Structures are given as C-alpha cells and as structure tokens.
Amino acid sequence: MNTKVWKVDKFVDIFESNPHIVDAANFLRENEVVALPTETVYGLGGNAESDEAVAKIFAAKGRPGDNPLIIHIADREHLNRFVKEIPLTAERLMDAFWPGPLTIIFKKKEGVLSEKATAGLGTVAVRMPDHPVALALLRACELPIAAPSANSSGKPSPTSAEHVLDDLNGKIAGVVDGGATGVGVESTVVDCTDGIPVILRPGGVTREQLAAVIGEVQVDPALMDGAERPKSPGMKYKHYAPNAPLYLVSGTSEFFQRIVEEKEREGLKVGVLTTEECEDLFDADVVLACGRRAELETVAASLYDTLRRFNQMKVDIIFSEMFPNEGVGHAIMNRLLKAAGNKIISE
C-alpha cells in the first residue's frame, strides 16, 4: 500500500474545508486508516463505528485485540451518541480539560460503536484532542474516530510523522503531517464510571491538576506495584521499548558512570539517557540529553524521540536517569519503567 503524506501547517491548515484535510477525511469515511497529529502523540485514526476500519487499526499496529481504543471527538454533543450517562465529575473534568490530554472512561451505549474498538467492554474511553488539525479532521469526517498511538505495538509512541512512517509506512492509507506534537506523552486516562475517579494511566494532565478540580482522585493500585491486574487493559503490556535493553539508574552520577564504564569494558556500545543539566557528568558512547530536569514538560516532550534515537545509534544497552514521581514526572516514570520492564539498578 502506498502511504500518502499530507503536509499541513498547524497554524494555517485548521479548517475542515482545507483540501488536505478533506482528502484525509474522505479516506476515513471510506474506512481506511490515517495517522493524525494530536497534542500528545500521533494517533492512528479509523471510523470507530466500523468493524472494518477498526480491524485495520489493530492489524497495522499488530495490537492485541483485548486492548480497547480511545474514541476522539471534536464536539461534546457527540458523546450522547455512544455514552450511556455523563456523571457530574466527568462534566467538571470536561469543562476544565477539554480539549486536552485527558481521556475519560464512560459507560457505553450498546450497538453504536464497533465492538472491536471497545474490546467488547461495557465502557468506552473518549477524549477531545487539543490540536487544531486533529479537530479540523474530526469535524470534516463527522465520525467518532478511534485512535491508538500510531506506533507498532510495543514501540515508543510517535511524536512526529517521521516516527509514524518508520513504523507504519506501507501499512496505512496516509499520515497527516502537522509537525512535532507538543506534550509528548499520551493523555491521562481517568475512570469516571464508579464513584471517586481513578487514574488508570498517568499522562499529560497531572494528578495534582485533576485534584484541584474534583477534589479526591485515586490512582489504580496496579500502577504502583506490578502485582495487581491493571484496570486499563493496555497497561499490562510491555510498551515504549527501544531496541536495546534499558535500565533505570538510582544513585549518584559517579555510580552511574561506573556502571557505564563496566559495560564499555565488556565491549558494549552504551547509551545514556540524561538531561541538559547533567549531560557533562557522563562519558559514554552515546549521551542524549532529553529535555531539562528543571522543567519536566521538556523531558516529556522529548522522551519518545530520544528512545527512538538510541535505535538509530544502534547502542547495545541504555542507562537512564530517574525523575521525580510528581506532576508530569508521574507519566514520564510510568513510561520509562515500562520501557525498562521495571529494571532499576540502585546504588
């Protein structure tokens, strides 16, 4: 399959009448799958009401069928089509964070969406992306769009159209190239179906921001220790992994450097994932600064690109700094721990 690339400017090409947007929307209406930029990561979009389109999403990504997709909408009115009830907490969260990197789990109205999109669950995950191109495309196709991150399953999520093409070129109808995404980690997933809202996946909206709006918010215990079965099906899979094994290092920079040298003596090409502040503390084959520690948003924005760059540099092993588990650091650590298969080396 020839994968089309529509280059758009996210400051200009923001109307549903734009010819590129119209073309991409026509593919979606014909149940083809198209990658699109959002403010978090690129999504692989398909008509959420069509089994055919949703099957194509799962096939292109190689995604396990029991992992449901997030449905993207441009208009809150559309919720009523496929959501059974909208609790007050969800209303308040939507008022505060939509459009934006917050996915809300609702009880599902049966018989509207493809059962494949929701993996047969009685609930549905929905978000309104804060990206003018994504919103224009959603308005142009007038469909609820199911869109997981547009990477091959298990790989780091894509934050540029190049990343999408690295994984999916030839496997999807097209990609709307709107440049690099902003937030860099996926949306926060919050379950609002039962009493106190529960964070199932940390992401672009922080626990602190949620608490400021709705007061009490819980975190799925499975996110803290791997023992419990996560409520969000996708969280149980290995994910975000670069090609080389990744280890998180807890300790002083001297300890970190000793580990690097040990592996280099064994003849391995060693990669270090660090930050601009700490870059000069390390001497290794490949040292990549992933944003600034003092502003964790910059680390989130560069994280997946940095993990992919280690693949290009063909390192044999990667050691990474750790980050504080607060604010967007919660999402960063969640993704790094998954990418590392929870492997931490402590001093």
Q: How far is the CB of 134 from ligand TXA (least distance, A)?
A: 8
DSSP track, 278-306: TGGG--SSEEEE-SBTTBHHHHHHHHHHH
Other C-beta atoms lying within 10 Å of the C-beta of residue 229 = 10
The interface region with ligand TXA, picked from 3-11, 227-235, 275-283, 317-325 by CB under 6 A, is: 227-235
Q: What is the dihedral of CA 278, 280, 284, 288, to 10 degrees?
A: 60
103 interacts with, out of ligand TXA, Mg ion, none, CB within 5 to 8 A per kind: ligand TXA
Tokens of 127: 């978000």
Which of 88, 69, 97, 45 has its CA nearest to residue 233? 69
Q: Which of the ranges 49-57, 147-155, 259-267, 317-325 carries the binding residues for ligand TXA, by CB under 6 A?
A: 147-155
| Tokens 């609702």 sit on residue | 106
Q: Residue 164, interface with ligand TXA (CB under 6 A)?
A: no
Partner whose footprint covers residue 226, from ligand TXA, Mg ion, none (CB < 5 to 8 Å by kind)? none
Q: Scanning the structure block, which residue is given the tokens 């924005």?
A: 301
Tokens 């604010």, residue? 327
Compare residues 102 and 260 and give the one whose CB is closer to ligand TXA.
Answer: 102
> Judged by CB under 6 A, which of 38, 89, 114, 302 binds ligand TXA?
38
226 vs 233, beta carbon nearer ligand TXA: 233
CA angle 330, 192, 339 (to 5 degrees): 30
- Contact between 37 and ligand TXA per CB under 6 A: no
Q: How many residues bind ligand TXA, per CB under 6 A?
A: 30
Copy the structure tokens of residue 340: 């590392």
Cα 210 to Cα 203: distance, rounded to the nearest angstrom: 11
Residues that bind Mg ion (CB under 5 A): 149
Q: According to the binding rule CB under 6 A, does residue 187 interact with ligand TXA?
A: yes
Site residues (CB under 6 A) for ligand TXA, limited to 280-309: none
Output the six-digit token pair for 100.
């934006």
Q: Footprint of ligand TXA on this chain (CB under 6 A)?
A: 38, 40-41, 43, 67-70, 101, 103, 105, 118, 121, 123-125, 129, 147-149, 186-187, 189, 200-201, 231-235
